[in-house]
A = this chain, B = another copy of it.
Amino acid sequence: MESRLVLDASAQDLLFRRARTADRFTGEPVDDEAIRAVYDLVRYGPTAFNQQPLRILLLRSPESRRRLAVHLSRSNREKARRAPLTALLAVDNEFHRRLPELFPQFPGAADLYAGNSALRERSALLNGALQAAYFIIGIRAAGLSAGPMSGFDEDGVNREFFPTGDLSALFVVNIGRPETSGERPRGPRLSHSEVCSTL
């Protein structure tokens, strides 16, 4: 099937086929420049009305990582402790304020969201998650491994890091070079026929 793809096989392996979610990392640090290179690639991924709600908080200091750790599930606390860098991915709940500049071709876009907080929240979640996926792919494009985690107390993290309510946490992602010894086998994936159908 790979022959139907234009992307070469080594890139397929790097981004999808061989890439694995990492639970354990080597001690090698991940510097801010690596994350800048990742962001400068994946920022081109599409979002609705070009809204780009994702915001990325890199937790580097021991203090910031302690502040996060208390809100993680126990197993995730251990994974984060072993990662050289942990990113808190959040969305800007007021993303619509930037739309006149980001999507000038539809001047009514900001008003559409301003008056409808349910629509705004859903849109921030969906588009922020799209961008989170681009970011995970970008981490792999940098030769690093990502360990995305959902097991945390969202309200607790939001109160701790975003007390004014302007941002909401989506995912926590550990980043580093994977320790591949003792890696678990990959979990099963749903087959094409289970997921895709044609009408």
Contacts and interface: CB of A to CB of B under 8 A. Distances in A.
A164 to B, nearest CB: 15
A132 B130 contact: yes
Interface in A39-75: 39-46, 48-50, 52, 54-61, 63-64
A44 B57 contact: no
A132 B133 CA distance: 9
B103 A187 contact: yes
A117 to B, nearest CB: 16
Given A103-B187, A133-B45, A142 B57 contact: no
- A49, A61, A129 pick with most chain B CB within 10 angstroms: A129
Number of copies: 2
Interface in A155-199: 170-171, 184, 186-190, 192, 195-199
Contact of A45 (B42, B52, B98, B136): B136
A21 B4 contact: no
A146 to B, nearest CB: 8
A50 B2 contact: no
